[in-house]
Structure 1
């Protein structure tokens, strides 16, 4: 996601130096106008703002501390971490940045690769009000909305709560489509009703888990990610850990975390998180609609459009 985010900054007239461990990602960034450099430290040297997008908290802390990113930046640099990581790791990263003489925001995003490309991400931001105001012009280029959620770690707290809602609703929407199949209801009919009724939600109207009703959804690209199932499993794992630590009765969130961990560790390892509908369909007993589910799959091929 960092690649298209950087590309949008370039389009808006900002000078961006970038680095990625994956050569293909770095080449794509270069093609988009980013100044590709040979290391993360080289990328931050002389920068006013440093934006990071990494898989997990250990990567953020390792890059900041052991790999010398904080030491390479000039004093007072604003570090904006857009990774989705544990709240405790986000607070530790914030403290490390401040102790090194810089300023910090945690600013995880919602919207997936599609949102990153379109510049329509939502940023959930934790840190100081002054730092949030300073980062605002950059966030507005990369996204359509930025919400200041509170102090250090608050952005990450908002993100894991949001993604717990998303994971639970995607499972609910997927189960509803499989139930509809078993009852002989077409995908389009269910979508036309639920998308304009009380069942309307992002998992249905934007990332619909079955081909046809929403042409841009990953379901029309054989579930090629968008937002990969392993990333959803990671985010739900963070939410589940936080719920357990806080003694929160989050029954559906915990069950969703278990479901996505199993899906991401198996057939969904390289799929969009909406592909969980296929796992639900496969678990459906034949007498409870397995035959109808197979018919639904066959019928989908005619409806599917290339995104």
Structure 2
């Protein structure tokens, strides 16, 4: 754990010194359990930065705002920034400016390269000679565990927060999510969290403002590892269900009929009962709107590549990973990379719409 530079909260008193709402005289009456509970007031974070306002990030940021946090945002897309500024939300021109204005910063970005640029690039949050205000960084991007661990070590071993009189060195959590755009909209995401338990407990109120399932996975990088495994299983499941539906149609069995069978028997899974890939079977899923929105095929391909690379590093057998990556890569090469990954039913297996 020490090799990854785990965050250490030196004492509960040190956290007390960081909380502007708590006085020394009230220390004996203050419940630290309450501070770390889901009912905690947002006051321990005077300002929360959010960087990356895409389909997921914009909805997550909105839920933080609804929960009462003072949110500061940044994105390279000026149009989405304007939407937030029009609502009275403070916007900044760079990640570094967000960090200067925030006690905690959450990032939601497309790839490891984007994450590294936001943290360590020329205008990145860690590119400062005068120290930084945040004492907690949360990355909810889906990236490789090695990058998560590298950043965690860099942040927790730095003196950035202490240089400004902070209570301890800052901490980082890797906390990717599952649930898609709909869960981001409704605040029902699942967070898979890696990092120190102390930092996890302090961040839990933030997570519960955006999600309903918060799962601690262990040390730095374990959240990213869990997300890669989750998406691998999701991809293989979608391929299996899509192949079965397409085969059933060719054999004369309607997808609606197969869906009823799957969902009341051993084939039941998220890809059949919640995210069905056959157009006309289920409302309010990407398949019902020409596979627009949802989780892009190119992102699934990226995640499968991460899984393949991670498996290779630990010498794990991952044949399904390689097959799935090859299939989704082919769908992307045919021009469907921005479509939801369930489009594999139509564009790889040649499945038909249900009428």
After superposition, the C-alpha distances for 1:1-59 in whole angstroms (9 at most, x for unaligned) are 11110000001111100000012221233355532222222222231210001111122
Report if aligned partners of 2:101, 2:133 keep a CA contact under 8 Å in 1: no
Separation (CA, whole Å) in 1 of partners of 2:348 and 2:267:
19
Find the partner of 2:189 among 79, 99, 121: 121
Q: Equivalent residue for 2:146? A: 88
Shift in alpha-carbon separation, 1:199–1:28, aligned structure 2, 3 A: farther
Find the partner of 2:108 among 36, 41, 53: 53
Q: Equivalent residue for 1:130? A: 198
With normalisation by structure 1, the TM-score equals 0.89
Query: Gaps spanning 5+ residues in structure 2: where?
Result: 1-55, 160-169
Query: Gaps spanning 5+ residues in structure 1: where?
Result: 283-292, 303-307
Shift in alpha-carbon separation, 1:185–1:26, aligned structure 2, 3 A: same
Q: Equivalent residue for 1:290? A: none
Q: Equivalent residue for 1:260? A: 328
Separation (CA, whole Å) in 2 of partners of 1:176 and 1:30:
47
Equivalent residue runs for 1:200-279 within 5 Å: 200-279=268-347
More off after superposition, 5-14 vs 24-33: 24-33
The CA deviation at 1:195 is 1.3
Separation (CA, whole Å) in 1 of partners of 2:97 and 2:292:
33
The CA deviation at 1:68 is 3.3
Find the partner of 1:98 among 156, 172, 176: 156
Shift in alpha-carbon separation, 1:253–1:12, aligned structure 2, 3 A: same
After superposition, the C-alpha distances for 1:120-139 in whole angstroms (9 at most, x for unaligned) are 11111100001000110110
Alignment partner of 1:198: what SS? coil
Separation (CA, whole Å) in 2 of partners of 1:47 and 1:238:
31
Report if aligned partners of 2:94, 2:124 keep a CA contact under 8 Å in 1: no
Separation (CA, whole Å) in 2 of partners of 1:110 and 1:80:
15
Report if aligned partners of 1:51, 1:82 keep a CA contact under 8 Å in 2: yes
Report if aligned partners of 1:71, 1:100 keep a CA contact under 8 Å in 2: no
Separation (CA, whole Å) in 2 of partners of 1:219 and 1:3:
23
The CA deviation at 1:85 is 0.6
Separation (CA, whole Å) in 1 of partners of 2:59 and 2:88:
11
More off after superposition, 208-217 vs 66-75: 66-75
Q: Does 1:166 align with 2:234?
A: yes
Separation (CA, whole Å) in 2 of partners of 1:261 and 1:85:
18
With normalisation by structure 2, the TM-score equals 0.77
Shift in alpha-carbon separation, 1:37–1:75, aligned structure 2, 3 A: closer
Q: Equivalent residue for 1:199? A: 267
